[in-house]
Amino acid sequence: MQETPETRRVTQGIRGKARLLGIAVAAGLVFPQTGLAAPPATGPAVQSDISAPGPLGALKGTLLAAANAGPHTPVVLILPGSGPTDRDGNNSRGLKAGTYRLLAEGLAAQGISSVRIDKRGLLASAGAVADGNAVTISDYVRDTQAWTKTIQSRTGAGCVWLLGHSEGGLVALASAVQKPEALCGLILASTPGRSVAEVLRTQLASTPYATQGNTAINTLLAGKAVDPATLPDALKPIFNPAVQGFLKDMFRYVPTQLIAQLYKPVLIIQGARDMQVSVQDAQALATSDPGAILKLLADTNHFLKKQTQDGKLAMLATATDPALPLAPDVVETVSQFITHATQAGAAQ
């Protein structure tokens, strides 16, 4: 987006408000109530199915409307992380954290509606495309745009908030850069600040497969295919031929470059015990957008659950327990950010 004197003025104004909001949230200050604020829910939330148009069939999701929701009720579109992760934040590989369901329920209690979704080609959205693996970040961006229009039509909301978790944060950033008009702002949770290629290098660095992994990454970066026969068994699922096209495309995106182009309110949430994405990633994102609000959560992991000890076993214990609540301050941080930004008139 080309910056003009007018957009520069708007950008500076919004980022100035965001910086003030960040100071106030960090200090625990209470903002005055205005007519635009979403009051805490005083009744039950209403859950219903919702669908958006996909290339070949419908994209499917769940709308959880806060009690007494109306056109001024904020609505959050939750964009899921990598792999076959479903709308609730679970998958068939053993992940049962229920992170997105818990987020939706927590936000509804604070007067904020949400939509959580199954990605194209997966689960209830399987009919949207012929092959769920034949996908790019641009495809997910188009789906995000379709969801945004559907949500606006269904709820009457003037704009939609994007909450991207992990890979979903990259989709949120790419969506905001391409079509910012219908977006209120972004919440980036456990989102890499580096290209996924560099994140993958870091994750493999402490394993016996670092050298072979780097070779495979470099091959994909060069636009070539990786022969799975040359890989150890531990790396074959990562560089499965079915997903190599997606990896090639995703490696091109650099989150810090994307966030630097935004003029919307941005909240960055990062757990201090996240084993997949580092605090340095979150700090890099915040540095690239001085107007962004950075919230570091102690004893919180990649799935936004409480984890008091480092290590894979401690992480897995939280990832397989859907009854375990989200870490303290997760829902409150998100709801305060959305409510305060709305009150300040930052959500256009």
- Starting at the edge strand that comes first in sequence, how are the strands of the sheet with 113-117 ordered? 46-53, 58-65, 113-117, 75-79, 160-165, 183-189, 266-271, 293-297
CA 23-113-139 angle, 5° bins: 90
The domain boundary, picked from 246, 262, 286, lies at: 246
Question: pLDDT tens-digit profile of 61-109?
Answer: 999 999 999 999 999 999 999 989 999 999 988 899 999 999 999 999 9
Instruction: Give the domain range for residue 231.
Output: 198-246
Place of tokens 């806060």: 66
Cα separation of 214 and 318, whole Å? 30
Tally the residues of the chain: 348
Please choose, from the candidates 120, 140, 145, the residue with its C-alpha nearest in 3D space to the C-alpha of residue 58.
Answer: 120
pLDDT of res. 25: 36
Question: pLDDT tens-digit profile of 11-70?
Answer: 333 333 333 333 333 333 232 333 344 456 567 999 999 999 999 999 999 999 999 999
Please choose, from the candidates 179, 172, 10, the residue with its C-alpha nearest in 3D space to the C-alpha of residue 81.
Answer: 172
Q: Are residues 153 and 263 in the same domain?
A: yes
Q: Are residues 73 and 219 in the same domain?
A: no
Query: pLDDT class for 128, splitting at 50, 70, 90?
Result: very high
CA distances to 29, 38, 229 from 236, rounded to whole Å, are: 50, 48, 8
pLDDT of res. 179: 79
pLDDT of res. 40: 60
- Provide the domain count of the chain: 2
Q: Are residues 107 and 238 in the same domain?
A: no
pLDDT of res. 39: 54
Percent share of the chain, pLDDT over 70: 87
Q: Where are the alpha helices (DSSP H) in 121-166?
A: 137-155
Would residue 348 count as lying in a domain? no
- Arithmetic mean of pLDDT over the chain: 88
Q: Are residues 261 and 276 in the same domain?
A: yes
**pLDDT at residue 164 greater than cutoff 90:** yes
pLDDT of res. 180: 84
Percent share of the chain, pLDDT over 90: 81
pLDDT of res. 188: 98
Mean pLDDT on 273-290? 96
Q: Are residues 171 and 109 in the same domain?
A: yes
pLDDT of res. 35: 32
Question: pLDDT tens-digit profile of 175-203?
Answer: 999 878 899 999 999 999 999 999 899 98
Q: Are residues 215 and 274 in the same domain?
A: no
pLDDT of res. 1: 37
**pLDDT at residue 284 greater than cutoff 70:** yes
